[in-house]
A = this chain, B = another copy of it.
Amino acid sequence: MEVFVRSPAARAPSAGPLAAVTATVQSHLDEVESRIAQQAAAFDPAIEGYVTYAIGGRGKRLRPLVALLSGGATGGVTSAHVDLAVVVELIHIATLVHDDIMDEAERRRGEPTVNARWGNSLSVLLGDCLFAHALNLSTNFKKAEISRSIAQAAREVCSGEIIQTQRRFDLHLAIEEYFRIVQMKTGSLFAVAAESGALLHEADPATVRSLKQYGMKIGTAYQIYDDCLDIAGNENVIGKTLGTDLRKGKLTLPVLILLRAAPAGEREEYCKLIVDGRAEEMTDLLKNGAAGQSLSGSIQAGQKMIREAQSELTGLPPSFYARSLLQLGDGLCELLEQLRD
């Protein structure tokens, strides 16, 4: 957990194991940042302030990073790739605004959430506005295929979240179903970022497919990391409330591995803890108990997925950016590894 110990700002990839990768496209990421900031001006003056607030919370910008690197690896980072990066991040931000309503979240990255500041009604509409604006921007790509894939990915993200909502506290959720939900709600936006980065260069179908797979797997692994962090992270260091998944009945990989591996008697006991909302006891078990293996198993599953993602890159011509895509995987592996400490 070394990287998180320094300061809350250390959450940004710029200070973590992803720093080296981010640095390779820093100037492009800066451009993404400034174009994101410019988007507020496209809205009605009465809305502009809310948009500025919603897009202002500096996120990790991982989806933009994937879009830029994929473009770089298939012909170079063009202005259209910066646009693509902006579009996928705006979609991500729109879903966060709506997530915070559903989670009744009070703070995000240290600031009050949109719903905490202006209520749920405004948050619903603001998320919609951001969403529509992102899809509007995406129609500027010359290839209709790209805007179509982006809209499809947006639908996948929401569909994944619906299924997750449906399956809260569902102790029969299979590990395969967990993976499917994660692929939909997180993987698909990473996948379309990587895929479209290559499509913008009219890369050959095999390359486009490989990069899409890379994005899907990296995104899925990132969600596994985030889910493990919710159990194994240190609240004071991460800067957000942890253990929230279990409290909300979201059964993530460590819990599912635990339930699957446990002998019938123990399993029943764990199920009772979950259903009774005794999330802290479950978290303790997952972190420290004999059940700690389920956390380690999850970390391993995430790392395996990253290796699979990296194996998708073998067909790419060797380049600075292809190497960065590989390094992004290494960085994520390291982040996962640090959760063992």
A interface with B by C-beta (< 8 Å):
43-44, 46-47, 50, 95, 98, 101-102, 120-122, 124-129, 131-133, 135-136, 138-140, 142, 144, 147-148, 151-152, 154-155, 158-159, 161-163, 165-166, 184
Contacts and interface: CB of A to CB of B under 8 A. Distances in A.
B46 A163 contact: yes
Given A44-B159, A44-B184, A131-B132, 4 more contacts: A43-B159, A102-B121, A128-B128, A133-B151
A142 B144 CA distance: 8
A165 B158 CA distance: 25
A158 B125 contact: yes
Number of identical monomers bound together in the oligomeric complex: 2
B128 A101 contact: no
Nearest to A143: B144
A156 B278 CA distance: 45
Per CB-CB distance, the 7 closest pairs between chain A and chain B, nearest first, are: A136-B151, A132-B155, A132-B154, A102-B121, A139-B148, A128-B158, A129-B158
Nearest to A155: B132
A50 B161 CA distance: 14
B46 A162 contact: yes
A129 B155 contact: yes
A188 to B, nearest CB: 11
Contacts of A43: 155, 159
A165 B44 contact: no
B131 A44 contact: no
A126 B160 CA distance: 11
Nearest to A95: B128
A154 B136 CA distance: 9
B122 A165 contact: yes
Contact of A131 (B131, B142, B184): B131
B162 A50 contact: yes
Given A133-B155, A136-B155, A155-B132, A161 B125 contact: yes
A144 B159 CA distance: 26
Contacts of A135: 132, 135, 151, 154
Given A44-B159, A102-B120, A159-B47, A165 B133 contact: no
Nearest to A145: B139
Given A101-B120, A102-B120, A125-B165, A132 B148 contact: no
Nearest to A147: B139
A102 B129 contact: no
B129 A152 contact: no
A102 B122 CA distance: 9
Contacts of A140: 144, 148
Contact of A46 (B47, B139, B166): B166
A148 B102 CA distance: 29
22 contacts: A43-B159, A46-B159, A50-B162, A98-B124, A98-B125, A122-B165, A124-B124, A125-B161, A125-B162, A126-B162, A128-B154, A131-B132, A132-B135, A132-B152, A132-B154, A132-B155, A135-B135, A136-B152, A136-B154, A139-B139, A139-B151, A140-B148
Nearest to A146: B139
Contacts of A122: 162, 165-166
A178 B201 CA distance: 47
